[in-house]
């Protein structure tokens, strides 16, 4: 999650509130758990154990199959998709091995991967000069592939493609590279964003592959043309299926090779590089041997209207951000307890006890001056905020800093991307 925006859905349709019958907890590894939301929490382990065996978790496989069908439009099982992935890893392994001779390397594939990771000449300087070099090389790739498009495609988008570095206000939490489709009225071009916050994460050998996947002939051709169609309803123009859109992006990487791109073997290796474990000569090559040490993820805990409870305390431990009910002031602590709500001070004490980095109190009653309630909370946990409509909390990876509240930051962001950033990009 790059950032958390507040207040954008203030006017919800009737019945939507009932759908929030669970607390949403986004864990460090990116998994999402739904913890039963009843006032006061589970109280003890027996209640939680009973709920876990109530039948909800037995439906997990059926839910997973539904999601797979939604993302792929096929009836392939999880095992079949996994097997397909293993076949692709084997293909990539074979193509990587074929590049060792052109790159004048002798040794095993495992040694080759480590060698490529450690080559200092494959990285730009981490500063303004390196960023300028990366952008120039990116534009060079865009210009080269654009000139070839008429020979390969009968239908081309009207909107141009521009490349931009990710803005400073979100570069710490944004993905590596992603695409934003053009405005339907032609007022904004398609934009290929590259995150140059840390040049060590943007090796030169991947420049072309990222351009062809995110830009041309990848997402820009697909999504810009789709956006410009006039004979389709909005859900067809602006919707999409992940397997198709990301499948097109991967196909575009390979198509660019057929179009004569990747003139250097080193750039072709960049196309093949992925963060997966592969088996080589009877042993395994792990991502950390090629991509460096794993980093801690981001942890965000969001509660509904609730009194402080043990489940929240467990879930919130060491989170980057806790979003918690803060309905009442301290003077109405009894009422908060009777109605299953929290005081802002209660939420702040929980944040202090669980060692979170930032607390955002929400659902503050309109009877109070928010600044007064906030003052009470900060006595227990100084890094407490009460976000207002359109405020944005940027949540970077831990090594890049702490969460930061950007007032009205949601207004500064570009329109939401039509498609999520591809995994690993």
Whole-angstrom distance, CA of residue 416 vs CA of residue 183: 11
406 three-class SS: strand
Whole-angstrom distance, CA of residue 399 vs CA of residue 3: 16
Pick the CATH number of 3-9+20-67+297-389 from 3.20.20.70, 3.40.50.2300, 3.60.15.10, 3.20.20.370: 3.60.15.10
What is the predicted pLDDT for the residue at 82?
87
As a whole-number percent, the residues of the chain with pLDDT over 70 amount to: 75
pLDDT tens, residue by residue, 364-409: 888 888 888 999 999 999 999 998 888 888 888 787 788 888 888 7
CB burial of residue 13 (10 Å; 0-12, 13-18, 19+): exposed
Q: DSSP secondary-structure letter at 215?
A: I
pLDDT along the chain (425 residues), means of 10: 42 36 34 36 50 52 80 88 87 85 86 83 90 95 94 94 92 88 92 93 88 94 92 86 89 89 71 51 52 69 83 86 90 88 92 93 88 92 90 83 84 54 42
**Residue from 129, 162, 134 nearest 414 by CA:** 162
CATH 3.60.15.10 domain locations along the chain: 3-9+20-67+297-389
pTM score, two decimals? 0.57
Strands of 154-264, DSSP E:
161-165, 177-180, 190-194
């Amino acid at each position: 999650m790059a950032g958390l925006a507040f207040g954008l859905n203030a006017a919800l349709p009737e019945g939507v509130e009932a759908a929030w019958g669970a607390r949403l907890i986004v864990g460090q590894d990116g998994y999402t758990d739904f913890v039963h939301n009843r006032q006061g929490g589970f109280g003890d382990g027996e209640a939680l154990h009973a709920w876990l065996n109530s039948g909800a978790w037995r439906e997990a496989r059926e839910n997973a199959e539904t999601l797979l069908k939604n993302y792929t439009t096929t009836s392939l099982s999880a095992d079949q998709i996994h097997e397909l992935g293993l076949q692709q890893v084997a293909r990539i392994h074979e193509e990587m091995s074929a590049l060792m001779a052109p790159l004048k390397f002798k040794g095993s594939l495992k040694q080759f991967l480590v060698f490529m990771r450690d080559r200092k000449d494959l990285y730009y300087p981490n500063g303004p000069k390196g960023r300028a070099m990366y952008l120039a090389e990116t534009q060079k790739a865009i210009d080269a592939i654009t000139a070839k498009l008429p020979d390969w495609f009968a239908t081309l988008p009207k909107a141009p493609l521009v490349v931009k570095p990710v803005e400073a206000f979100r570069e710490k939490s944004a993905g590596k590279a992603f695409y934003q489709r053009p405005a339907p009225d032609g007022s904004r071009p398609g934009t290929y964003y590259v995150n140059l916050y840390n040049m060590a994460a943007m090796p030169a050998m991947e420049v072309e592959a990222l351009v062809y996947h995110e830009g041309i002939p990848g997402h820009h051709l697909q999504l810009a043309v789709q956006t410009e169609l006039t004979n389709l309803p909005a859900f067809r123009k602006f919707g999409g299926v992940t397997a198709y859109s990301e499948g097109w992006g991967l196909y575009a990487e390979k198509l660019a090779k057929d179009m004569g791109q990747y003139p250097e073997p080193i750039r072709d290796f960049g196309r093949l590089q992925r963060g997966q474990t592969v088996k080589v000569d009877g042993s395994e090559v792990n991502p950390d041997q090629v991509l460096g040490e794993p980093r801690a993820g981001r942890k965000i805990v969001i509660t509904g209207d609730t009194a402080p409870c043990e489940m929240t305390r467990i879930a919130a431990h060491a989170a980057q951000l806790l979003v918690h009910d803060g309905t009442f002031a301290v003077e109405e602590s009894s009422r908060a307890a009777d109605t299953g709500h929290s005081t802002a001070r209660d939420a702040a004490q929980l944040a202090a006890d669980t060692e979170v980095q930032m607390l955002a109190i929400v659902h503050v009653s309109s009877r109070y001056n928010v600044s007064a309630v906030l003052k009470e909370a900060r006595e227990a946990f100084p890094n407490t905020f009460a976000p207002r409509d359109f405020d944005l909390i940027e949540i970077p990876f831990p090594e890049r800093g702490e969460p930061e509240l950007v007032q009205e930051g949601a207004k500064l962001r570009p329109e939401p991307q039509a498609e999520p950033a591809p995994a690993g990009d």
